[in-house]
């Protein structure tokens, strides 16, 4: 059964099909990052935060030509001393909210993801790219800067490759994006959304509590000193052993049947 809830009737749609949710951008052929799109995306993320039944979420560009082609440059003329209040802080908050969603997230990139579009994809846990689609952070070509993108990209690919991308504004072909680790998979056949849906279906079959805790621990490995992260790992492991799902998984293993995970 599929349910559909509109975060904004025009710009973002949140679809839920079983344990998998899809956030669909609908902001014209390029899905430009406008304040209105960010507001709609923020609303959709807020709906997902409280959904313990969602085991994976996919972000994609719908029928648009681009996953997201970045910021609307027309907005820049009105942004100077107040850019932090009007754009930067709000955009950063929405991206942080996407990154902090408790369930695994996948960006399905079937069209160009450039500038703010790639920053949106980098806020997801995993990225699937359609063959032949280029991605990049070309802000320096306009004298601009990919703020959160610089940080998330460097953590993903290392400082040298991140600096090359940022300094030159280069776009990456699919094979380079995969080799550098910017994306997890390149869709061999069909669309990135098809591949992301297959990946999400696999994730949804796994222990939802263990996947949520795994996400928090991987993030902690970057954000905290190693001793603090390991302390969190100890607490998380105890939560797993206290859970219904671990013992259901063990029982299913010995009974040679699929497990029935409930997320607790």
* Residue of 22, 139, 189, 248 with catalytic role: 139
Kindly give the pairing relationship between strand 20-25 and strand 113-114.
unpaired
- The tokens for 174 are 């699919």
Whether 189 is catalytic: no
How many CB atoms are closer than 10 A to CB 75? 15
CB 98 within 8 A of CB 155: no
Whether 139 is catalytic: yes
* Residue of 119, 164, 189, 195 with catalytic role: 119
Query: Strand, coil or helix: what is 213?
Result: helix
How many Å apart are CA 104 and CA 201, to the nearest integer?
12
Helix axes 244-255, 208-223, angle to 10 degrees: 120
Closest CA relative to residue 60, chosen from 34, 89, 21 = 21
Q: How far is CA 130 from the centre of its chain?
A: 16
Catalytic site residues?
A: 119, 139
């Amino acid at each position: 059964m599929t349910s559909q809830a509109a975060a904004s009737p025009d710009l973002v749609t949140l679809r839920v099909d079983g344990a998998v949710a899809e956030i669909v951008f609908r902001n014209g052929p390029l899905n430009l990052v406008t304040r209105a799109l960010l507001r709609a995306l923020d609303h959709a993320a807020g709906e997902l935060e409280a959904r313990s039944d969602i085991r994976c979420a996919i972000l994609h560009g719908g029928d648009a030509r681009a996953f997201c082609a970045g910021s609307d440059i027309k907005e820049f003329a009105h942004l100077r001393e107040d850019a932090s209040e009007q754009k930067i802080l709000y955009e950063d908050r929405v991206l942080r909210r996407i990154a902090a969603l408790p369930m695994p997230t996948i960006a399905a990139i079937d069209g160009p993801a450039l500038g703010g579009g790639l920053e949106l994809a980098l806020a997801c846990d995993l990225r699937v790219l359609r063959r032949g689609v280029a991605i990049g952070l070309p802000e320096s070509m306009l004298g601009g800067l990919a703020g959160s993108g610089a940080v998330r990209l460097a953590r993903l690919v290392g400082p040298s490759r991140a600096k090359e991308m940022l300094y030159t504004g280069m776009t990456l072909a699919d094979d380079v994006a995969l080799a550098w680790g910017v994306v997890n998979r390149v869709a061999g056949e069909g669309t990135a959304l098809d591949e992301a849906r297959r990946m999400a279906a696999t994730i949804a079959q796994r222990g939802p509590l263990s996947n949520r805790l795994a996400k928090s621990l991987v993030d902690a490995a970057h954000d905290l000193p190693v001793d603090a992260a390991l302390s969190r790992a100890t607490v998380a492991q105890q939560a797993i052993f206290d859970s219904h799902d671990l013992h259901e998984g063990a029982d299913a293993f010995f009974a040679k049947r699929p497990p029935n995970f409930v997320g607790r």
